[in-house]
């Protein structure tokens, strides 16, 4: 057991690392964060910020010797760096778990070979293989990069309805164009599933196999980026049960020590499919900071330190709305207007540059029902763009 007062190392200094560091410091731990960017979100709140490239194995090893245990918030840490660190200190979740989860093809193969339900898919390594895979899977389909993809980056939708006119006009070879647009050497072609809902479950698991799953969050995306998560979601109880059961079974099969976020689709006939895994805190679990007995970040800390897991009870219906850099388009958002809303918590990540699509912060609203919480979160976010000179509207 790694007790309060000891030092946790976190690889990756984005918002997930920041919220982890805040949770760890609240429990009396010391935190060292490693990230290539000076004054990164986690570095701002950690005890020690180490600025080094992820490829700098020597710096990572020095970092490891100064901490008691290492975890991560960024999935694309080079395998050599992670392996070198793991030889010095325990890394949780293990490099083997990360190896599977950060590569879409390995992840799909792990899931399907262990009997977990996924969308039909094929591995593709060339435009020729893509053409053959399209013949088997059919359209509409989605071509995704096997690695380095996030928030829909490196994804190409293959839908004849979209390209019909275009192909006639430009004599476009759509298969070659789609392959080129993906831009990576290995891809996964997936059948496009007409899901009813998207949701996610975050499961914590300790080294002794204790597990606890947070209530599923129903997720809405905009431009492939998570926009709003609502808890409890609108899924029927049988779907909630199935989702939690699946997330726990996957975390157990992977022998995760830490968190595993499992993104899922619910189809019209009640079938649940696993879309993606992330062995770390997840954007759709930010609601736990304000709405649950234990946050996902504290739960990650407890799991990696070998402490008992905390209660995952939802204390109040909640909705989380992401704040992207686009909100800064016309200047600084009107923070005061959003803060006038009752039961709305504002979380900002300390990022300096508000680029479009960049996650700068989030709002969580609590209310008597999930629908009311969602409405409140959206209204508070909308208020961020109101004119600071106009009279304020207080909503209850």
- Binding stretches for ligand AMP (CB under 6 A): 119, 142, 152, 190, 192-193, 198, 221, 224, 263, 275-276
Tokens of 98: 């990360």
The 3-state DSSP class for residue 69 equals strand
Nearer to ligand AMP, 88 or 225 (CB): 225
Give the separation between CA 69 and CA 30, rounded to whole angstroms: 11
Report in angstroms how near the CB of residue 62 gets to ligand AMP at its nearest: 34
Strand-pair partners of 258: 205
Nearer to ligand AMP, 49 or 263 (CB): 263
Nearer to ligand AMP, 47 or 75 (CB): 75
The 3-state DSSP class for residue 261 equals strand
Tokens of 113: 């070979």
Strand-pair partners of 365: 319, 344
Report in angstroms how near the CB of residue 101 gets to ligand AMP at its nearest: 12
Report in angstroms how near the CB of residue 196 gets to ligand AMP at its nearest: 11
Give the separation between CA 100 and CA 104, rounded to whole angstroms: 8
Nearer to ligand AMP, 107 or 290 (CB): 107
Beta pairing class for 197-205 and 258-266:
antiparallel
Distances (CA, A) of 20 to 70, 121, 158, 246, 296: 12, 34, 38, 25, 9
Nearer to ligand AMP, 76 or 392 (CB): 76
Nearer to ligand AMP, 161 or 390 (CB): 161
Work out the angle at residue 43's Cα, subtended by the Cα atoms of residues 38 and 44, and round it to the nearest 5 degrees.
100
Report in angstroms how near the CB of residue 161 gets to ligand AMP at its nearest: 14
Number of neighbouring beta carbons within 10 Å of residue 139: 15
Report in angstroms how near the CB of residue 139 gets to ligand AMP at its nearest: 12
Give the separation between CA 62 and CA 83, rounded to whole angstroms: 14
Report in angstroms how near the CB of residue 330 gets to ligand AMP at its nearest: 28
């Amino acid at each position: 057991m790694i007790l309060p007062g000891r030092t946790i190392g976190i690889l990756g200094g984005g918002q997930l690392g920041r919220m982890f560091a805040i949770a760890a410091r609240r429990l009396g731990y010391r935190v060292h964060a490693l990230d290539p960017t000076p004054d990164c979100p986690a570095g701002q709140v950690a005890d020690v910020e180490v600025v080094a490239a992820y490829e700098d194995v020597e710096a990572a090893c020095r970092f490891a010797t100064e901490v008691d245990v290492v975890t991560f918030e960024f999935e694309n840490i080079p395998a050599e760096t992670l392996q070198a660190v793991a030889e010095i200190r325990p890394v949780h979740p293990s490099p083997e778990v990360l190896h599977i989860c950060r590569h879409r093809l390995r992840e799909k193969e792990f899931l399907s070979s262990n009997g977990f339900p996924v969308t039909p898919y094929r591995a593709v390594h060339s435009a020729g293989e893509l053409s053959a895979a399209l013949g088997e899977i059919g359209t509409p389909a989605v071509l995704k990069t096997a690695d380095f993809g996030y928030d829909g980056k490196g994804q190409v939708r293959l839908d004849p309805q979209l390209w019909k006119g275009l192909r006639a006009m430009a004599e476009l070879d759509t298969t070659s164009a789609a392959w080129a647009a993906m831009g990576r050497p290995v891809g996964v072609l997936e059948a496009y599933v007409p899901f009813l809902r998207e949701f996610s479950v975050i499961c914590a698991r300790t080294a002794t196999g204790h597990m606890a799953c947070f209530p599923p969050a129903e997720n809405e995306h905009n431009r492939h980026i998570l926009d709003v998560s609502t808890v409890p979601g609108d899924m029927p109880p049988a779907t909630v049960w199935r989702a939690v059961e699946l997330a726990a079974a996957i975390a157990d099969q992977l022998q995760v020590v830490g968190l595993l976020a499992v993104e899922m689709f619910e189809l019209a006939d009640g079938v649940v499919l696993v879309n993606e895994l992330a062995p770390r805190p997840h954007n759709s679990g930010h609601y736990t900071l304000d709405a649950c007995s234990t946050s996902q970040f504290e739960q990650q800390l407890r799991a990696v330190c070998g402490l008992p897991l905390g209660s995952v009870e939802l204390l109040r219906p909640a909705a989380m709305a992401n704040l992207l850099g686009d909100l800064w388009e016309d200047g600084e958002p009107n923070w005061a207007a959003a803060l006038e809303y009752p039961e709305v918590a504002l979380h900002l990540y300390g990022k300096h540059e508000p680029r479009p699509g960049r996650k700068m912060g989030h709002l969580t609203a609590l209310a008597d029902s999930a629908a009311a919480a969602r409405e409140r979160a959206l209204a508070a976010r909308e208020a961020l763009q109101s004119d600071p000179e106009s009279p304020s509207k207080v909503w209850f």
